[in-house]
DNA sequence: CCATTATGTTATAAAAATATAACATGTCAA
DNA sequence: TTGACATGTTATATTTTTATAACATAATGG
């Protein structure tokens, strides 16, 4: 899979707020699929699993099977990747834009 | 509009690679809608305009009308916002994860 | 072993995003 | 003024994403 495809999967995975919330939930400690489902009472279990699949395919969630349970682990590396190669530079540009604005106001 | 809604619009706007490419194109200098269309031969003009609308509603593109032309400006601030309040912390976590891995390998 | 629990699979419905077509408006320049 | 050009609008088709239902497997504990 190309870098662009990977990038795209990551951005697409982050596009849904439920999925971002799932990542937030996994940030402190891994959780089983059942636990995650319990924390999304509004969503059907199948829907939660579909979201997990999208996250897994973007490599944002890594799965370890243990008995009849499935532990979902957060993998923050792909986020760091898009951060480094795409988002970071924009943030820098935004800062320098603010800097220029400030200069303009002062000067 | 709430902060969460804004956040969501930004992430959704960034979810399509055509739109990210458009932002990349606007990074150096603003461009008219026509210029942008010319640089996306694969896309219909209406499609390009729809994408621009999504970017505009996420406040990622700011529009200035001049005669019969429409100039599209990049606004990197919303990207900096999601960077600061969401993506950055994950990137930090990824770094510390790599750090721990390194320690484990060394220790 | 067997009922329960946790998860997986396949199909399908509903909603949203993407792409295009057809027509409309406003501006410029000759 | 008038025709060409740049953009805008509305409707609709296509594709993708999101949500559910129904059924299936597989491990655990009594």
> Taking Cα atoms as reference points, which of A84, A90, A92, A81 lies closest to residue A7?
A81
Residue A11's domain comprises 3-76
- Tens of pLDDT, residue by residue over B46-104, are 999 999 999 999 999 999 999 999 999 999 999 999 999 999 999 999 998 888 877 77
- Tokens 């896309």 -> residue: B43
pLDDT digits (tens, 9 = 90+) for A61-79: 999 999 999 999 999 999 9
- Name residues of chain A where pLDDT drops below 50: none
Closest residue, chain B, to A14 (C-alpha):
B11
| pLDDT of B87 | 96
Is residue B14 assigned to a domain?
yes
pLDDT at B6 over 70: yes
Residue B25: CATH number of its domain: 1.10.10.10
Interatomic separation, CA of residue A66 and C1' of nucleotide C17, rounded (Å): 38
Question: Does A81 reside within a domain?
Answer: no
Q: Is the CB of B12 under 7 A from strand C?
A: yes
**pLDDT for res A80:** 95
Which protein residues have their Cβ less than 7 angstroms from some atom of strand D?
A: A 12, 15-16, 18, 43-44, 46-47, 50-51, 54, 67-68; B 32-34, 37, 45-46, 49, 63, 65, 68-70
Residue B10 lies in a domain: yes
How many distinct structural domains can be found in chain A? 1
Q: What is the pLDDT of residue A47?
A: 97
The answer to whether the C-beta of A46 is closer than 7 A to strand C is yes
DSSP B62-103: EEEEETTEEEEEE--HHHHHHIIIIIHHHHHHHHHHHHHHHH
Q: How confident is the model at residue A98, as a pLDDT?
A: 82
């Amino acid at each position: 899979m190309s870098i662009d495809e990977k990038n795209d999967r990551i951005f697409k995975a982050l596009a849904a707020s439920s999925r971002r919330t799932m990542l937030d939930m996994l940030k402190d400690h891994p959780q089983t699929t059942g636990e995650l489902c319990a924390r999304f009472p509004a969503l059907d279990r199948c829907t939660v699993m579909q979201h997990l699949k999208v996250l897994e395919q973007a490599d944002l969630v890594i799965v370890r099977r243990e008995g009849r349970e499935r532990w979902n682990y957060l993998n923050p590396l792909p986020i760091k990747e898009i951060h480094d190669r795409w988002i970071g530079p924009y943030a820098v540009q935004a800062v320098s834009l603010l800097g220029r604005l400030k200069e303009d106001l002062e000067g």
